[in-house]
Amino acid sequence: MTSDPSKKPAEDESSRNLEHLDAALSHVHTSLTTGSIAVGAAKAIVYSLIETLGALVGDPDLPEHSRSGYEGLLEKAREMRVRIGK
């Protein structure tokens, strides 16, 4: 019996999710730098990303290698929150 190629392993999905969250954080940074987003909106988006990443890091079923990627991105988001707050 062959496996269904339409089903992706959870690891691939986790990697894609990490890439999407990183892209979102980068987009907020770029938009804030160019002035195409209000500071208040950027704060709200970064807050939401921090909450989402915190929930993912707290997931006991998350593989360790994925957890380290999410933790790194969480730290990056926290640093951005501090810079925006100035």
Could you read off the pLDDT of 11-57 as tens digits, one per residue?
678 788 899 999 999 999 999 999 999 999 999 999 999 999 999 99
Q: Is residue 1 part of a domain?
A: no
Are the C-beta atoms of residues 29 and 81 closer than 8 Å to each other?
Answer: no
State the angle between helix axes of 10-34 and 64-85 in degrees (0 to 180), rounded to the nearest 10: 10
Q: Is residue 60 part of a domain?
A: yes
| Residue in the block written with tokens 């810079």 | 83
Cα separation, 10 vs 29, in Å, equals 29
Q: Is residue 2 part of a domain?
A: no
Q: Residue 24's pLDDT is what? A: 95
CA-closest candidate to residue 84, choices 25, 18, 21, 19: 25
Q: Residue 63's pLDDT is what? A: 86
pTM: 0.80
Q: Residue 34's pLDDT is what? A: 95
Look at the chain and report how many structural domains it folds into: 1
Q: Is residue 81 part of a domain?
A: yes
